[in-house]
Structure 1
Amino acid sequence: MDNKKFSTVFIPRASFYLWVILVLVAVIGVLNWLIAIPGLVLLIALVYYHFRSNYRRKHEITRYIENLMFNIDTATKDTLLNFPMPLVVIQLDGTIIWYNSSFRKIFEGKDLLEKTIGSFAEGLQSDYLLNGEPNISKNITINNKSYNVLGNIVKTDHKNENDEYILLLYFIENTELVELKKRYEDEKTSVCIIIIDNYDDLMQSMEGAMQPQVLAEIDRKLVEWVGSTGGILKKYERDKYLFVFEKAHLKGFIDKKFDILDSVKEINTGNKIPVTLSMGFGINGSSFLESFNFAAASIDIALGRGGDQVVIKDGEKFSFYGGKTRELEKRTRVKARVIAYALREFIDQSPLVLIMGHEKADVDSLGASLGLYRIVKERGKNAHIVLNEVNSSIKNIMSKIEQDQAYDGVFISGDTAMEIVDNNTLLIVVDTHRPGFTECPELLKQTSQVVVIDHHRKGADFIQDAVLTYQEIYASSTCELVTEILQYVGDKIKLRPIEAEALYSGIVVDTKNFTFKTGVRTFDAASFLKRQGVDTISVKQLFQNDLETYINISNVVMAADIIDDRIAISVCPPDMKDAQLIAAKSADQLLTLTGIAAAFVLCHANGEVAISGRSLGDINVQMILEKLGGGGHLSVAGAQLQGISMEDAVEKLKYAIIEYINESNNEKQ
């Protein structure tokens, strides 16, 4: 028996005493019935009094509760009628059923009954009100005034399902607070670093007497561009400017699509090449110094993406504008020589060197790794190349390498590399600058000595705190950059035949047989490798297609759809062997068709949808695939989409292409 229930037996109550008296009267009646008669009369009187008292007490309590409820109802009605803030009662479908005079004043006395609140106050549509939340809080604007709308759902006594619930909304005006907040945001100090990114080439393209005139014209256009902002523009180096301004003016720059980039290109004062600017903006930093650091990071990315563009860093978010022009080749090799000397010092100071490319290694990644491996060995240091798997694009080269005993133990997996790496290990990352794209991202966290050598346009996600970065987006390939380093890092380094062939193959593949992104330095690198003993026939044999591959490529090309009359999209069958290799070759083949300016081929790869994008330069496939999380170059790019069907991937790609076309058309207007 429950202890609580058991204890209630001993609580004194009137009915309990009456039962006791009844028992006593009964006992007395058994002993002497005459004496029991007065006791019985007394018991009857007590019972009558007990029930009479209970009846009167219940009646008084009922009257008290009724009066209390009446007073509460009266107070409630009085509160609603005289509530100082705008108040409205609506049904869950948004229909207004009651409101006070303050609410009516918001809408200038209009009759609002039986009308939907969403038609008067945008943002309070029924789909928002029926989102399942018991309490509502939302900021809206009505007649140029701001309100914080608070509300809650109330259950009524109606049995009708449509009237079972009503919604009370309270409108609290906060116009002054919103305007103050907006003013605070608009007056935040923002920083911009502006660089003439082709300064050296520009000066070399004209006579000395004309150089001051061009620089003066650039200064004039910049001063004119910032004039309406009330900001400060200060030139602090021969080709660099610091611009400090209020954030409110940034929207105007964006709306005009940073027209200063096009304006400076119109300068024609003896210069043979157009002037191009790069801009890095830092906004919403917690301090002036942090905003400046944001701007510095932005300008690094703008230059790493080829220049002639704007990058905005807002906290951890990056925004990109421009960048649709081709990269200009830098003729001077001064930077290559400086990088070679610095790399040599890092190698000499490191007990172990690990070389790592991107996941799903291609010929460029492998060739660059082999070139760097030879540099390390020539410096007398131990080195390994991190490679988790051999895919179809490199299997021919790897089969030749495996036949050479000199490379036994050179290639190791990421797991093995994790076992031997320490903080003093030099880790050289090639053909990628994005941590998540490397063969073993965890390696980057195990050492403080990281070198990056890459030729891709810099994205928002890049390896932080590298001790040395050589990222030249004008280069055809990473193999080209490594070949230049080879010529300066030591005296007469002799490549083994397979290493020279791998470097040459990387250049051939990324330039599509010296067609795309091929400059003077590309041919110089190829010439150096030829002198090292490259057999071009042997290289060509590495990329010969078998009959099955050729047929698969032909089928993919034949199945292509054409959109906008110049962009081809095709899909590889689900179970196709070497799908990624065929996708890349099919995209290249589609560009040989008349009228096709860009091509995208999709395929299934390791549970993902991989996209290979190619163009002839008029369409920036990098900007299109960046919208899908990918990257690359203006004419060669790729992307991987996870957790998505092929049909959805095609739709996403088409949407990205249409968005890119619309942006391009808007910029031309």
Structure 2
Amino acid sequence: MDSRKLSRIFIPKAGFYLWVIFFLIAVITFLKPLVSIPGYILFVFLVIYNYKSTHIRNREITKYIETLTFNIDCATKDTLLNFPMPLVLAELDGTTVWYNSSFKGIFQNDTVQQETVAELVTDLKPQMTEGDSINISSEVTINDRHYSVLGNLVKLDDSNNEESIIVMFYLVDNTELINEKQRFEDNKNTVGLIVIDNYDDLMQSMEDSVRQQLLAEIDKKVTNWISHTGGVLKKFERDKYLCIFAFKYLHELEEKRFEILETVKEINLGNKIPVTLSIGLGINAPTIVENLQNSYACIDIALGRGGDHVVIKDGDNFRFFGGRTRELEKRTRVKARVIAYALRGLIDQAPSVLIMGHENADIDCLGAALGIYRIVKNRDKRVNIVLNHSNANIDAILNKMAKEPEYNNVFVGTNEALDLITKKTLLIVVDTHKPGFTEAPELLKMTDQVVIIDHHRRGADFIQDAVLSYQETYASSTCELVTELLQYVEDRIRLTNIETEALYAGIVVDTKNFIFKTGVRTFEAASYLRRQGADTVSVKQLFQNDLKTYITISNIVKDAEVVYDNIAISICPSNVKGAQLIAAQAADQLLSLAGLVAAFVLSYHDGEVVISGRSLGDINVQMILEKLGGGGHLTVAGAQIEGVSIQDAKKMLKDAIYEYIDSLAKE
């Protein structure tokens, strides 16, 4: 027997005692009947007394409970009616059951009130678990006031009828907290650097008498641009400004697309070239110093993209504005000579050299690598070129090299390169500056000696801590830059026919036969290669197409879709050999059609979609393809997208084009 049940037997109860008395009287009656008569009289008295006292006690308890319940109900009602926070009860279909005066007071009309309650219930339903009570929390804005919504959803009975479930919402006014937080955000410091990125060229193009007048006009326009922010502007070098202003003004500057970039171009005081600025802004860093460091990094990227850019660094993210001006060719070769001397010193100090381009190497990449190969070879250093596989872009050159004993064992794959590289190995990266685009990104982590030679506009992702970087966006190609280095690294260097043809071919391909991005130095580089023995006819033969390829290109052009009346998009068939090269040629061919200013051709290569973009200069294909993870130049750019179908990639490309065109419309 349960011990708790056993214990109840011994709990004193009036009824139990009466039964004991009755038993004892019965025993007395059996022994002495006359003696039991007073006992029966006493027993009847006790029964009557017990009944009356029990009845009175039960009535008092009932009255107490009724009074207590009434008091609780009154307290509950008073609490609900006078609750200081807005309170509302609702059903699961969004119907308002009851609300207090505080809740009604925050609305201007009943329609908005009912809509708000319905939205709160709708947000709650995905969280609901049948049979359980849950707590909810969300944020809502009503009539410019901010509220935290706290609530509870409770099932009132065991049935599945939704009407048995009531939702109670409490609204906590957080307006002051939110406003204070916003004031804090608005008043955070934005630190920026402004650079006149063509200062030297401007000064050389003007008479001494008007130089100071030009600088004064630039100062005036920059000061007027920043003055409405109430910030600080300080010119600390002849061509550099430091500015600090409140974060709340940045959105306004972005909305106006940083109009200062176009404003300074209107300055005309006899300068033969337009004034362009590069602006770097650091935001949301913990300290002003870190924001300043970020602004310096932004300036490096802006200048690496050819200037006329605004670059904003927010944490690890970058935003870009501007970049509508073509890069200006630098007439002086001082930098080329300095880089050549520095490169020669690094080569002499290194025990060995590895040369690496980008994956899926093109002729500009291979030509530049061969030019650097000749420089290193003439310094009597061991040198190899990292190349994992060939492709249609470089097959013709590689076939020629295979016939020359001098180039035996020149090329190594990634695994072999990892065995050769040490911390002191000089790794020269050509035709790219992005770690993820290189032939073997892991090599970058294996050495402290990295050199970059590239002509692409710098993106947000670039190789960090290079010991030497020669990145000139004005150049037509990396082959042009390497050709200039060849002229300064040694007095008399002799190139082989294959090397001269590869370098010349790289310039021809990237300039589209000396049409795009062709300056005086481009022709000078081509002239040097011609003197070295480059055969222009042989180079032309490298790019000859057979009839089948020509028909394929024609079909791609024929099937092109035109958006915005002047931008063509087409797709290269997936079963075509050398699809990536054919896509690039088709994009070039599309630009020869009247009325088109830009063209994009998509192809499928090694499990990823490759996009080739071309432009006549009115459309910045680099900025469009950067939205898809690519890069390049104003007129020539590319992108590679993994894990999507070619139709999905086309849709992504269209979205990027629409976004770019919309941004132009806002300027």
Deviations 1:113-134 (A, max 9, x none): 9922168xxxx46653334375
Aligned to 1:431: 431
Aligned to 1:582: 582
Larger radius of gyration: 2
3-state SS of 2:439 partner: coil
Distance 1:85 1:196, change over 3 A: same
Given the alignment of the two structures, is residue 542 of structure 1 paired with residue 542 of structure 2, yes or no? Answer: yes
Aligned to 2:124: 129
Aligned to 1:460: 460
Q: Is the 8 A contact 2:190 2:291 kept in 1?
A: yes
Shift of 1:144: 2.1
- Report the AA paired with residue 367 of structure 1: G
Deviations 1:55-102 (A, max 9, x none): x9xx99x999x9899987776555444432112223344433322222
Aligned to 1:378: 378
- Report the AA paired with residue 388 of structure 1: N
How far, CA to CA, are the matches of 1:484 and 1:407 in structure 2? 23
Aligned to 1:32: none
Pairwise mapping of residues 63-74 of structure 1 onto structure 2 (< 5 A)? none
- Report the AA paired with residue 129 of structure 1: L
Shift of 1:162: 4.2
Aligned to 2:287: 287
How far, CA to CA, are the matches of 1:455 and 1:361 in structure 2? 15
- Report the AA paired with residue 214 of structure 2: V
Q: Is the 8 A contact 2:256 2:666 kept in 1?
A: no
Shift of 1:430: 0.9
Aligned to 2:220: 220
Shift of 1:216: 0.7
Q: Is the 8 A contact 1:444 1:450 kept in 2?
A: yes
Aligned to 1:235: 235
How far, CA to CA, are the matches of 2:279 and 2:271 in structure 1? 21
Shift of 1:139: 2.9
Aligned to 2:554: 554
Q: Is the 8 A contact 1:191 1:291 kept in 2?
A: yes
- Report the AA paired with residue 525 of structure 1: A
How far, CA to CA, are the matches of 1:318 and 1:653 in structure 2? 20
3-state SS of 1:116 partner: helix
How far, CA to CA, are the matches of 2:394 and 2:93 in structure 1? 63
Aligned to 2:649: 649
Aligned to 1:251: 251
Aligned to 2:6: 14
Aligned to 1:116: 115
Shift of 1:107: 1.4
How far, CA to CA, are the matches of 1:73 and 1:416 in structure 2? 85
How far, CA to CA, are the matches of 1:244 and 1:114 in structure 2? 44
Aligned to 1:3: none
How far, CA to CA, are the matches of 2:360 and 2:563 in structure 1? 30
Q: Is the 8 A contact 1:561 1:568 kept in 2?
A: yes
- Report the AA paired with residue 6 of structure 2: A
Deviations 1:517-574 (A, max 9, x none): 0000101111111111111111111111122211111111111111221111111223
3-state SS of 1:495 partner: coil
- Report the AA paired with residue 426 of structure 1: L
Shift of 1:247: 1.4
Pairwise mapping of residues 497-576 of structure 1 onto structure 2 (< 5 A)? 497-576=497-576
How far, CA to CA, are the matches of 1:531 and 1:205 in structure 2? 32
Distance 1:323 1:113, change over 3 A: closer
3-state SS of 1:149 partner: strand
Aligned to 2:102: 102
How far, CA to CA, are the matches of 2:463 and 2:69 in structure 1? 70
Distance 1:645 1:130, change over 3 A: farther
3-state SS of 1:613 partner: strand
Q: Is the 8 A contact 1:306 1:473 kept in 2?
A: yes
Shift of 1:135: 4.3
Q: TM-score, normalised to structure 1's length?
A: 0.87
How far, CA to CA, are the matches of 2:282 and 2:542 in structure 1? 48
Aligned to 2:277: 277
- Report the AA paired with residue 130 of structure 1: K
Q: Is the 8 A contact 1:97 1:113 kept in 2?
A: no
Aligned to 1:163: 163
3-state SS of 1:130 partner: helix
Aligned to 1:297: 297
Pairwise mapping of residues 343-422 of structure 1 onto structure 2 (< 5 A)? 343-422=343-422
Q: Is the 8 A contact 1:282 1:313 kept in 2?
A: yes
- Report the AA paired with residue 353 of structure 2: V
- Report the AA paired with residue 115 of structure 2: T
How far, CA to CA, are the matches of 2:161 and 2:637 in structure 1? 57
Q: Is the 8 A contact 2:450 2:467 kept in 1?
A: yes
How far, CA to CA, are the matches of 2:312 and 2:507 in structure 1? 33
How far, CA to CA, are the matches of 2:498 and 2:559 in structure 1? 37
Deviations 1:198-250 (A, max 9, x none): 11111111111111110011111111112222222111111111112221221
How far, CA to CA, are the matches of 1:16 and 1:256 in structure 2? 87
Distance 1:512 1:63, change over 3 A: farther
Distance 1:224 1:12, change over 3 A: closer
Q: Is the 8 A contact 2:613 2:637 kept in 1?
A: yes
Distance 1:647 1:10, change over 3 A: same
Pairwise mapping of residues 33-182 of structure 1 onto structure 2 (< 5 A)? 79-108=79-108, 110-111=109-110, 115-117=114-116, 124=119, 128-132=123-127, 134-157=134-157, 159=159, 161-163=161-163, 165-182=165-182
Aligned to 1:328: 328
- Report the AA paired with residue 392 of structure 2: S
Distance 1:326 1:135, change over 3 A: farther
3-state SS of 2:644 partner: coil
Distance 1:15 1:183, change over 3 A: closer
Shift of 1:158: 7.8
Aligned to 1:52: none
- Gaps of at least 5 residues in structure 1 are 1-8, 19-37, 39-55
- Report the AA paired with residue 288 of structure 1: I
Deviations 1:241-278 (A, max 9, x none): 11122212212211222111111111111212111111
Answer with 258-267 or 288-297: which moved more: 258-267
How far, CA to CA, are the matches of 1:615 and 1:156 in structure 2? 68
Aligned to 2:621: 621
How far, CA to CA, are the matches of 1:127 and 1:259 in structure 2? 44
Shift of 1:11: 4.3
Shift of 1:508: 0.7
- Gaps of at least 5 residues in structure 2 are 11-29, 31-53, 129-133
Deviations 1:130-172 (A, max 9, x none): 3437543333322222222233433233846543544332211
- Report the AA paired with residue 481 of structure 1: L
Distance 1:163 1:372, change over 3 A: farther
Q: Is the 8 A contact 2:257 2:666 kept in 1?
A: no
Q: Is the 8 A contact 2:107 2:113 kept in 1?
A: no
Q: Is the 8 A contact 1:96 1:116 kept in 2?
A: no
Distance 1:10 1:304, change over 3 A: same
How far, CA to CA, are the matches of 2:395 and 2:185 in structure 1? 56
Shift of 1:575: 2.0
